[in-house]
Amino acid sequence: MEKRISWQIEWVQAFAHFQKARRILEVGSGNFETLMFLAKKYPGKQFVGIDFAFSDASVSAIKNAPPNLAAIKHDIRDLRLLANDQFDFVFSAAVLEHIRELESHLSAIHATLKRDGKYSFLESPFWSSSLGHHYEHNSPECPIPHYGHLMMSREQLKKYLEEHAQRQPAEIEKILRGIYEREDLSRLTRTETRAIVESSPFIIEAWKERLDKNYSEDLMKAVVGNNIYNVDAQDLQISGVTCTLRKSASPGNKSNWTSKILRKFGIR
């Protein structure tokens, strides 16, 4: 099992809300490895996983799935197939950076959670981080320099790759399409993501940022000097986030809570 998947399994199990949950949903389940492990270990819980792409590995995993795991092939940008108020806990790992429609996604997850249910997600890498272009970003052979996608236009990156990458023209075109035309990439910065989460119907219980290990002052200056997407300089230091959101106890609860704070400080 990949280290990344073992980490996810530990991450999910460490939540008290996971331990208490009876019905659990994972969105963007990939090869269903995390869910298979959890479903076998916790036969008393019900698990549902959704992904719009089933690899051969997913298909063979699903064939051997225990009865408390349901796998659904579906696009998570449209979650109308899920009934309201049915899950105690939802989680996702390395998925939200692929969802441009983050606002409606969060509303849909909010609707399908029970009252006080929680959504924990790991989002990484943000578009605004050193590897946010997502092109072979986990490979040592990655041809894109750190933060290169933020300071080079398509034409500039093409020129850079022709001069430095020693790749065939067809491959360079594939790389450029993979960065600038790939549809399943949100291209939301850390600041934009945080603003959408804050304006969602959820209460933010935890927002823990991960530092970008490739960040340096020199690279920051280079991006700021040619800041094509007008990325906030602070965002460059952050590669991703782990976050837990709670469904407010009743629909108007979040604004009631905000008004209480405002009243407390004599603002309203």
Does the footprint of ligand SAM cover residue 30 (CB under 6 A)? yes
* Rounded (to 5) percent helix, strand, coil in the chain: 40, 20, 40
Asked whether position 7 contacts ligand SAM by CB under 6 A, the answer is: no
In the list 47, 49, 51, 148, the residue contacting ligand SAM (rule: CB under 6 A) is 51
Give least dist CB 27 to ligand SAM, A: 7
The H-or-E segment that residue 208 falls in is strand 202-211
Q: Cα(first)–Cα(last) distance of the chain, in Å?
A: 54
Q: Indicate the residue among 74 and 167 with the shorter CB distance to ligand SAM.
A: 74
- Which residues inside 165-184 make contact with ligand SAM, applying CB under 6 A? 184
Residue number, 134 or 248, with CB nearest to ligand SAM: 134
Q: Does 103 bind ligand SAM (CB under 6 A)?
A: no
* Sole window of 51-59, 151-159, 171-179, 240-248 interacting with ligand SAM (rule: CB under 6 A): 51-59
**Quick one: which of 40, 77, 154, 210 contacts ligand SAM (CB under 6 A)?**
77
With beta carbons less than 8 A apart as the criterion, state whether 154 and 180 touch: yes
Of 71, 64, 82, nearest to 48 by C-alpha is 71
Strand partners, 208: 242
| Residue (54 or 160) nearer to ligand SAM, CB | 54
Residue nearest to ligand SAM (CB): 30
| Adjacent-strand bridge partners of 247 | 202
72 CB-contact burial (10 Å; exposed 0-12 / middle 13-18 / buried 19+): middle
Site for ligand SAM contains 9 (CB under 6 A): no
Binding flag, residue 241, ligand SAM (CB under 6 A): no
User: Strands of 202-211's sheet, edge to edge?
Assistant: 69-73, 46-51, 23-27, 87-93, 113-123, 238-247, 202-211
- Positions in the binding site for ligand SAM (CB under 6 A): 28-30, 51-53, 75-77, 93-95, 98, 184
